[in-house]
Each structure stands twice: as C-alpha cells, then as structure tokens.
Amino acid sequence: MFATGVTIVTARNAAGEFIGLTANSFNSVSLEPPLVLWSLSRAAASMPAFANGSHYAINVLAADQKALAERFAARGIDRFAGVEHHPGISGAPLLAGAVATFECFNRSRYDEGDHVIFVGEVERCQHQEGLSPLLYHGGRFYTEHPL
C-alpha cells in the first residue's frame, strides 16, 4: 500500500542487445557520492545481463507512459520494437518522454531474499520540466495521486 513511481531499467547485454524491464523498486541512497538502488528477482531472465554488466539506465516514467510500463513488464515480446530511445553515455537506452533518467555505473549488488539489490553510482542525470510521473499503488497505475 505504498505509492511509488514507475521506472524502466535499461542496459545492453554482453552481445550488445538492448534489455529492459519495469521496476518500481527504485530509491535514492546517497547524495555524495550520488547513489540509487533498485531490485530484481533472482529468477528474472535479465539477471545475468544486469549482474555482469557495468552500466545501466533508470528511466522514470511520465504519467502518459502507462502502456510502456506494461510493455516492459510483458514476457515473450521485443520490448524495444517501435520504442523511441537514444543511447546514453554508456550505451544504455534512454527512453524518450521519461520524466528523468539516471545513467549509472553498476557499483555493487546485495543478495537478499529472492531478489538482488543493485546500487548504482549516478554518472549523469537529466529531467524534463512540466511532466508528471506515473504512479503505482495497490496493484494499479495512476496518472495522478490516488485519493
């Protein structure tokens, strides 16, 4: 029952292919140095790419990007087909229309329960003025605060 923002975490795997997934387990850790965290199920198909990769990007979704959140949560599809993006400083895809992007070095990982917690050192962040974030609360998406 905790309202969160919605993100899509993106990277390139060892073969250079784009990978990405929807995550709402995103949080700030430190301002100096700038650190953020997110978590991923150990059973996720993308776990090897994120665990062994050096960089990833966290894209904070805008209120009008619900369909994108659902797309990157789906299985068995090409999640990037037709999705507008451009490469970040490390090559991780940055999604067009995101409220904010955090380009991160994969600083550390912690195995906890059935998830791995990734701590990223932010190398560059950007945000778009005037966009409202997509929210997730009680198993549903919201484009404004749930009352």
pLDDT in tens, 16-25: 999 999 999 9
Q: What percent of the chain has pLDDT over 90?
A: 89
Cα–Cα nearest to 51, from 61, 40, 62: 40
Judged by DSSP in three states, 46 sits in coil
Model confidence at 147: pLDDT above 80: no
Q: Look at residue 1 in the predicted model and tell me its pLDDT.
A: 73
Residue 62 has pLDDT above 80, yes or no: yes
- Which pLDDT value is given to residue 3? 85
pLDDT given for residue 145 in this prediction: 62
Q: Which one of 3.40.50.150, 1.10.287.610, 2.30.110.10, 2.60.40.10 gives the CATH number of domain 4-142?
A: 2.30.110.10
Query: Is residue 91 packed enough to be buried (19+ CB in 10 Å), middle (13-18) or exposed (0-12)?
Result: middle
Helix, strand or coil for residue 65?
A: helix
Asked if the peptide bond before residue 87 counts as cis, ω within 30 degrees of 0, the response is no
pTM of the predicted structure, to 2 decimals: 0.94
Average pLDDT in the chain = 94
Q: Is the pLDDT of residue 92 over 60?
A: yes
Residue with tokens 């387990």: 25
Residue at token pair 């904010």: 100
